[in-house]
Amino acid sequence: MSDPFKPSERLDARPLYQQVETVLIDRIASGAWPPGHSLPAEPELAAELGVSQGTVRKALAELERRNLIERRQGRGTTVLRHTGDTARFHFFRLRDLSGTAVVSHIKVLSCEPGEADESEAAALRLPQGTPIFRLRRLRTVDGVPRIFERCTLVEARLPGFHLPEGELTTELYVHLQRAHGVTIEHAEEDLSAQLAGPEEAAVLGLAEGKPLLMVQRLAYDIARRVVEHRVSLIDTEHYRYAVRLD
């Protein structure tokens, strides 16, 4: 357990509950409080950190709003686990033309270590040569190839990362949390159009030059560190990409 939090010793102009929130996030991000871990009761946390229960309660409310913890009446507060359903709800946006969410199946095409080239480094906002993993995946819907994905993951966040070729039975972000203790909290996405090149045309079974939706994603962990850059090339002839703005 980390040392008691003493606000008087911190040169921090933020509201006290935000400082407490940072301390609690550090414990989750460091693995001291892994997914499924039961947090101490509010009075215990307040006494340890030297703040009021109201301050702790407000900090916990922020963590709950960010989907980092789960609070249940009579069962206490636990660090939230990613499940396939929650990961798809938050991070998978493909819908059919009626607006219904679709279920995709994932196949790993390759997973290799390397060093970030100029374009990868720029996308990850990290120095060129940063150790990375390159992951290529295919998503099918009803057995038909629909999405080709190129993922670049930061090795420093995921030591020992590897996915064998073949069917992936869990969402990537579920795997990262379970196997590496890394929780993806939020992502930034940029949407544009791109014509299918030779590689994606072959993988998706399309003619070269067919228009595809390109979604570039930058995913961050709960400490707001970049973990992944992903380029998804999507055949949207029978589907659409839905974004919810809260």
What architecture is the 7-79 domain classified under in CATH? Orthogonal Bundle (1.10)
- Give the pLDDT confidence score for residue 9 in this predicted structure: 45
In this prediction, residues 3-21 reach a mean pLDDT of 69
Q: In this model, does residue 15 exceed pLDDT 60? A: yes
- Give the pLDDT confidence score for residue 245 in this predicted structure: 61
What architecture is the 84-241 domain classified under in CATH? 3-Layer(aba) Sandwich (3.40)
d(CA 246, CA 46): 31
Pair 91, 46: CB distance under 8 Å: no
- Give the pLDDT confidence score for residue 11 in this predicted structure: 47
Highest mean pLDDT, choosing among 12-21, 115-124, 235-244: 115-124
Which structure tokens are listed for 39?
């947090």
Q: If you average pLDDT over every residue of the chain, what do you get?
A: 87
In this prediction, residues 215-226 reach a mean pLDDT of 92
Locate the DSSP E strands across 50-129: 69-72, 76-79, 94-96, 105-115
d(CA 183, CA 180): 9
In this prediction, residues 118-124 reach a mean pLDDT of 95
Which structure tokens are listed for 220?
């961050």
Q: In this model, does residue 116 exceed pLDDT 90? A: yes
130 or 244: which leads in pLDDT: 130
Q: pTM of the predicted model, to two decimals?
A: 0.77
Q: In this model, does residue 31 exceed pLDDT 70? A: yes
- Give the pLDDT confidence score for residue 86 in this predicted structure: 56
- Give the pLDDT confidence score for residue 4 in this predicted structure: 52
In this prediction, residues 139-145 reach a mean pLDDT of 92
CA 91: distance to chain centroid? 8
Q: In this model, does residue 32 exceed pLDDT 70? A: yes
Amino acid at 55: T
In this prediction, residues 31-35 reach a mean pLDDT of 85
- Give the pLDDT confidence score for residue 2 in this predicted structure: 46
Q: What is the pLDDT of residues 56-70, one digit of tens each?
A: 999 999 988 888 888
- Give the pLDDT confidence score for residue 90 in this predicted structure: 61
In the chain, where are the structural domains located? 7-79, 84-241
Q: What is the pLDDT of residues 87-114, one digit of tens each?
A: 554 667 788 888 888 888 899 999 999 9
